[in-house]
Amino acid sequence: MSDDVTPRTREDQVYRDDPRLEVSGSPQHVAPETPRVEQREPGRIVRKAPPVVLERLNAWYGGMHSVRDLTLTFEANKATALIGPSGSGKSTVVRCINRMHEEIPGARAEGRVTLDEVDVYDAKVDVVAVRRSIGMVFQKPNPFPTMSIYDNVGAGLKLTARKVEHEQVERALRGAGLWEEVKDRLDQPGIGLSGGQQQRLCIARALAVEPDVLLMDEPASALDPISTLKIEELVEELKHSITIVIVTHNMQQAARVADSTAFMLNGELVEHGPTTKIFTNPDDTRTEEYVTGKFG
């Protein structure tokens, strides 16, 4: 992936590597029940993003070993879903990628997390730089209550001592599919928006710093079905320019948005594969039991 190749061949390479080609025979074929995907061109990569590679990742909260020896690759310009029952370590994995895990007192992580050949846990790597290139969207919408819509979007730039250009704010809001709804009231407080709009505002805030990777920790679990649908459509759209990791409790959601799915149980990776395979023909019986609703 890091080879110096022209955009054209890079694009080809992505699809040659695509495991779905063998399964479904069509790159458009993400999940059969999502016709709206076809309206776009899922194959069109606007901006090449790096993959995220986890190698033997272990994470602890004090004495609790919550992620065990996890090795997993989140492919570039794809959406990967992390599924599993509560407490299986999905969120912890995501928080290890942008080093948010270490913000919790008593928490620590070991192993390698590589982004673009750089180990984010390397002693020479600046945690601030890591978080600038890996954006994050949280379970509950958390816009800054004292800031306007405009300032919320620009917050990532301001908080890292950069100038905020109107054009960047507009691009981020357009990217989050919120521009048309808020363009006439950019100076109003961000918390005045509806829950779904607030979550898209948070996505716009993450996009404004132009990350390579977007981590989404159950981004739609606090939202109504229509807002959820909008977030899912966004994921489809955002894949063209960034790599997405999405934690979800909602298996239909994973089936709808994810190219590949990883199933976790008790801190361990049980199975990782193309979404269609995980949901129709998984290798592990535990995966099958979980996706068919026998436990979890």
Residues 196, 223 contacting (CB under 8 angstroms): yes
The residue written with tokens 């999905």 in the block is 90
> What binding mask, one character per residue, do residues 174-203 give for another protein by CB under 8 A, x or -?
--------------xx------------x-
Q: Contact with another protein (CB under 8 A): which of 146, 194, 281, 292? A: 146
Segment contacting another protein (CB under 8 A): 61-69, 80-88, 150-158, 169-177? 150-158
Segment contacting another protein (CB under 8 A): 115-123, 130-138, 244-252, 278-286? 130-138
Segment contacting another protein (CB under 8 A): 40-48, 53-61, 128-136, 279-287? 128-136
**How many Å apart are CA 76 and CA 222, to the nearest integer?**
27
* Edge-to-edge strand ranges of the sheet holding 64-74: 64-74, 52-61, 107-115, 118-119
Q: Contact with another protein (CB under 8 A): which of 50, 156, 273, 282? A: 156
Q: Please report which helix (H) or strand (E) contains residue 213, including its range.
A: strand 213-217
SS3 state of residue 14: helix
Segment contacting another protein (CB under 8 A): 59-67, 131-139, 223-231, 256-264? 131-139
Min dist CB 223 to another protein, Å, is 16
Identify which of 264, 262, 283, 284 has the alpha carbon closest to the alpha carbon of residue 274.
Answer: 262
The residue written with tokens 């521009």 in the block is 179
Min dist CB 60 to another protein, Å, is 18
238 binds another protein (CB under 8 A): no
Min dist CB 62 to another protein, Å, is 12
138 binds another protein (CB under 8 A): yes
Which CB sits closer to another protein, 120 or 269? 120
Residues 268, 68 contacting (CB under 8 angstroms): yes
Tokens of 224: 């109504």
26 binds another protein (CB under 8 A): no
Residues 40-99 that bind another protein (CB under 8 A): 98
Segment contacting another protein (CB under 8 A): 66-74, 84-92, 153-161, 169-177? 153-161
144 binds another protein (CB under 8 A): yes
Q: Contact with another protein (CB under 8 A): which of 35, 63, 105, 225? A: 105
Q: Contact with another protein (CB under 8 A): which of 25, 35, 63, 145? A: 145
CB atoms within 10 A of CB 3: 7
Q: Please report which helix (H) or strand (E) contains residue 268, including its range.
A: strand 268-274
**How many Å apart are CA 50 and CA 242, to the nearest integer?**
8
160 binds another protein (CB under 8 A): yes
Handedness of CA 36, 40, 46, 52 (dihedral sign): positive
Phi, psi (deg, nearest 5) at residue 55: -125, 120
Residues in Cβ contact with 102 at an 8 Å cutoff, skipping those fewer than 6 apart: 108, 109, 127
Binding residues for another protein, per CB under 8 A?
98, 100, 103, 105, 128-132, 135-136, 138, 140, 142-148, 155-156, 158-161, 188-189, 202, 205-206, 209
